[in-house]
Amino acid sequence: MLAMATTPSPNYGFGVGNVQSLGGGYNRWNVYDGNCRVVDGLTTNGNPCTQGMFGCSPPPIKFNRYTSSYNGGVYSCYPDSSAENCGNDPVSVCVSSNGS
């Protein structure tokens, strides 16, 4: 297990963690800042691609857009194999630090 990263990825401002099952059909995706603090996230029992926070690519499905629930900023998302963990949550999608 990797130690907590100091940043989800050195190249981006935010990171999206992997899906976390909460039980009862609900799942959660955390959005982390550069210090691995949860700054946003989505909890749903539906499709995360249709909830408004994340946009998704065609298959194979990956998050390609993040819309902040706090400021409405829209950010581009990219897969990043160099991203690390925030705690026990692997971060595999990173978000540009500039709104698009």
In-domain check, residue 51: yes
In-domain check, residue 48: yes
Tens digit of each residue's pLDDT (9 = 90 or more) over 15-42? 899 999 999 999 999 999 888 999 999 9
In-domain check, residue 75: yes
Nearest-Å Rg of the Cα atoms of the chain is 13
Tens digit of each residue's pLDDT (9 = 90 or more) over 53-75? 999 999 988 999 999 998 888 88
Of residues 78 and 99, more confidently modeled:
78
In-domain check, residue 1: no
72 CB burial (10 A radius; 0-12, 13-18, 19+):
exposed
Give pTM, 2 decimals: 0.82
Contact assessment for residue 89 and residue 30, using Cβ atoms and an 8 Å cutoff: yes
Question: Which domain range does residue 23 map to?
Answer: 14-95
In-domain check, residue 58: yes
